[in-house]
Amino acid sequence: MIIGRSSGILLHISSLPGSFGIGDLGPSAYHFVDFLESAAQKIWQILPLSPTRIESGNSPYSSPSAFAGNPLLISPEKLVKSGYLNASEVPLFEEADSSSVDFSRIVAHKKELFKKLSGKYFLREEAEMKLEKFRRENKYWLEDFCLYSVLAEHLDPQWMNWPDPVRNREEEVLQELRKKYREEVFQEEWLQFLFYEQWNDLKAYAHGKGIRIFGDLPLYVSGLSADCWSHPQYFQLDDEGNPTVVSGVPPDLFSETGQLWGTPVYDWATLERDDFQWWVERLKQNLKLFDLVRIDHFRGLSSFWGVPQDYETAEHGTWMEGPGQDLMDQLKVNFPEMPFVAEDLGEEIDQGVLDLRDHNGLPGMNILQYAFGGAEGDHRFVPDQYVENSVTYTGTHDNNTTRGWFQQTSQEVRDKVREMLGADTEPENISERLMRVAYESMSDLVIIPMQDVLNLDSEAKMNLPGTVEGNWMWRLDEDYLNPGMAEWLKQMMEEYQR
């Protein structure tokens, strides 16, 4: 693994505290980096930074772009500090509940704020030069994404319904549209520039404190994305842009009909003929953002579950061959250190997935909540099975919090937990005890969700897989980031030599 024995915390940017209704790249992010340093943590893990949409449940895993950043995370305070806005131009945001993100209000509030940026840009020659440089460095995706975003507003949110010349990307027509919507396209470019400028500042600050950023890469992209419109040849789509085969997983203990994710699956043969360029460019972009990248649903690179578009559930799918080692070989050429982690979870992990992971030296994942049997149980999650080249979690963003899990699991599982951790294990101490098991393990890297550091119950969970409403909303109370909490974590790092 590219890092030694160490530990970190999982907390998404949107979950940070702050004054504008959603965590952002402003002062609270820098405060959290300071907290990580004082707590002797080396890694900050976050979720994808991609744009989100209310129509997709605000999920960072269902984005209109695999390359763009999320403007909702732009900090108003940093805009003022950088001179792009005056303090008087930033409206106050009154929130009824600071522990939760109200996405519909946030989107409206940020749109109004961003309108005030228009027209100010050309007053700053230095910023104009920076933007031009940003355009050159992000040429592969930026122009298409910005035009796509504007056309989705003016024509139809579903690009498959656009007039044929637009849907089919006739260059003369696209040039006319770029001229027609020049100001709006420019606004989208400007927001992407500001997002990346603020992110790069934060990343540099984290590096200065000895903190590295661990990001997340969804395997699939939304069908309603700039990627599918600009590179339809890389996805299994019909002539009108509609998916012919969609993604999912087969029936398992959690669902009799499987999970139908509904995103287009890749045309891997076409990607391979182009030396997997789109994937290489995507990972290059992610490695501008992150020091380490988790590849979500890694098993889909070995083989994937494809479901014909006209089925409403996933049980009628079939296993289809993924790119396997051919893709890995191309990634090794471009990224010799292979700074990737394989998300190798799920019922359908077979030897082919494990071989692909191990042959390329990628760390896998261990989830301690899965070590005690029940529907989630699997012998490979028992701590004495862990190897050094792995990442251990109490739970992930897709799990209940550890306290919530312990309170809601079966009596049989609770008995097994107490057998391992002590007969006096209760909701009040379950998170700390499981954290200690993780820190004591052989795994090079241990990541603990912030909710488990604080031993919060199920009200603080981030996501419930298979649902659309009520996810991605949890926010941290700033008062929790105190010297006592940092010292407690630091002492455990010394105790377990992390």
Gap between the Cα atoms of 478 and 482, Å rounded:
8
Distances, alpha carbon 368 to alpha carbons 254, 365, 418, 437, 476, in Å: 18, 10, 14, 8, 23
Sheet of 212-217: strands edge to edge? 340-342, 292-295, 212-217, 43-45, 6-10, 445-449, 390-393, 364-367
Q: Is 297 exposed, middle or buried (0-12, 13-18, 19+ CB in 10 A)?
A: buried
Largest CA distance in the chain: 73
DSSP assignments along 184-246, one per residue = HHHHHHHHHHHHHHHHHHHHHHHHHTT-EEEEEE-SS--SSSHHHHH-GGGB-B-TTS-BSEE
35-51 b/e (C-beta count within 10 Å ≥ 16 → b): bbbbbbbbbbbbbbbbb
3 state SS of 170: coil
CA–CA separation, 37 vs 124, rounded Å? 35
Residue 247 β-bridge partners: 306
Query: 373, 416 in Cβ contact below 8 A?
Result: yes
- Report residue 73 as tokens: 């995370």
Catalytic residue positions, numbered: 296, 343, 398
| Closest CA relative to residue 234, chosen from 201, 196, 279, 190 | 279
What pairing do the DSSP bridges indicate for beta strands 340-342 and 364-367? Answer: unpaired
For strands 245-249 and 259-264, give the pairing: antiparallel
Q: Which residues contact 237 (CB under 8 A, 6 or more apart)?
A: 223, 228, 243, 244, 264
Question: What is the number of residues in the chain?
Answer: 498
Q: Residue 36: which residues within 8 A CB-CB, separation 6 or more?
A: 8, 9, 42, 44, 206, 209, 211
Find all residues with CB under 8 Å of 98, minimum gap 6, and list them: 17, 475, 477
